Structure 1
Amino acid sequence: MNTKRQTIWLVSMLSLMVILSAYYLFTEDVDPGNNMLTDGGSQEEKLGMDATEAAAGNADKLDGLTVTEVTEAADAGTATETAVDKEAEKADQEVLRKLDAAAAGTAGSIFEELQYKRDQKFAEENNRLYSIISDASQDAKEANKAAEQINQLEDKSSKKTGIEDELTKQFSNAIIVEENNNKYKVVVESEKLERSQADNIVMMVMKELEVGADQVSVQFIAP
């Protein structure tokens, strides 16, 4: 019985020694590593702090010198670009203004305006005469007179259109403008107008509208 107890005690002591030896060995291996890692970490932190401080110091220098100069140069460049952009925009607007002015003065637009005014005048006169006919308070004499004037107005308009159609065989555009005192101005689009051409136009208008030579004038507009 005693022998078994001694044997168990001896085995326990040996196991304890093995555990203590292993613990001692592992403890020795880990501690230096930890010290090295800790030292390395401290050195890295120190290096990082030194680098940060150095960068901050350089940034202070750059703020005082280089960065300020670059900012000023950038501002100057921006101001120059803005001035150039404004000049370019101003030049573009001037070109557009000239183009609009030129377009407004083209021969085509002039003829369109003359045609519009003539049509408007015809419509106003036509409406005035029809209002007389439709007015129940007007006597039969006034109504008949208005009806006759409508026929004359339409006949004259038809004759002017016929003359213009004939003139457009020679010219790009042509229009007859009725002026005061039963006078007519013929406007044609042409680079130039020969005296013989003007005379032929006058003769044509005199014949179709049954007016005298002093009632007709001719004008040409360059395209």
Structure 2
Amino acid sequence: MLLKKQTVWLLTMLSLVVVLSVYYITTPPQKGNDLASVEQKAKKQLDQSKAATSKIQDKSGKTVVSTVSGDDAFTALRMQLDDQRSQMKEELQAEVASTDLSADKRSAAIDQMKKLDETAKKEEVLETLIKTMGYEDALVRADGENVKIIVKSQKKHTAAQANDIIQLAKKEIGETNYVAVEFQPAKQ
């Protein structure tokens, strides 16, 4: 009887070591205060640019096209999106590693992590496809059924170009309720 208890205890401890090792290996390194200042600067620039935004809606009323300026805001938004995803993954990994969680809840957390990865891949593919359309850069953020796309371009943009991007987004990401496209002028 004592041998079985020791075996169970040993296997439990080994399992815990393995889970913690995987968590440690997959966790990205922590970033310092520089990132926080960049995020604050990006939020300020985004708020300022939203004040000077022009909007056009398509026939369904679900699409927004606007213009934003600032190269730093584009980079900061990409970093902010990456940080949010990393934080969500860390939280889900902590849930999976928790011994108090039921098997169903662990499975749901694992499914959500897979969904995050799939969404990130779809966003990356869509960004690449938009770049092949002749634009300098693109940032795609998909959140459930809402998709926000920021396109960097030196060219003048039209509602037809925005509609092409919207149709591409619906094809690649799937059916969405709301797609917003922002054109950001590239620095020359």
| Structure 2 counterparts to residues 100-115 of structure 1, below 5 A | 107-115=70-78
Structure ranking higher in strand proportion:
2
Match of 2:158 in 1: 194
Match of 2:119 in 1: 156
SS at match of 1:124: helix
- Alignment equivalent of 2:172, drawn from 204, 208, 213: 208
RMSD, aligned CA: 2.0
Q: Which has the larger radius of gyration?
A: 1
**Amino acid aligned to 1:172:** E
Structure ranking higher in helix proportion:
1
CA distance in 2, matches of 1:201, 1:106: 19
Question: Which TM-score applies when normalising by structure 1?
Answer: 0.49
Any conservation in 2 of the 1:129–1:150 contact (CA below 8 Å)? yes
Aligned residues: 118
**Amino acid aligned to 1:126:** K
Provide runs of 4+ in structure 1 moved above 3 Å: none
Match of 2:94 in 1: 131
Q: Give yes or no for the alignment of 1:221 onto 2:158.
A: no
Unmatched tracts of structure 1, length 5 or more: 1-100
Any conservation in 1 of the 2:141–2:149 contact (CA below 8 Å)? yes
Q: Give yes or no for the alignment of 1:177 onto 2:141.
A: yes
| Structure 2 counterparts to residues 74-153 of structure 1, below 5 A | 107-153=70-116
Question: Which TM-score applies when normalising by structure 2?
Answer: 0.58
Match of 2:36 in 1: none
**Amino acid aligned to 2:173:** L
Cα drift, residue 178 of structure 1: 3.8
CA distance in 1, matches of 2:168, 2:126: 7
Any conservation in 1 of the 2:119–2:142 contact (CA below 8 Å)? no
Q: Sequence identity, in percent?
A: 19
Please give the per-residue CA displacement for 1:61-110, whole angstroms capped at 9, x wherever unaligned: xxxxxxxxxxxxxxxxxxxxxxxxxxxxxxxxxxxxxxxx9xxx964312
Unmatched tracts of structure 2, length 5 or more: 1-44, 46-67
Higher relative contact order (CA 8 A, sep 6+): 2
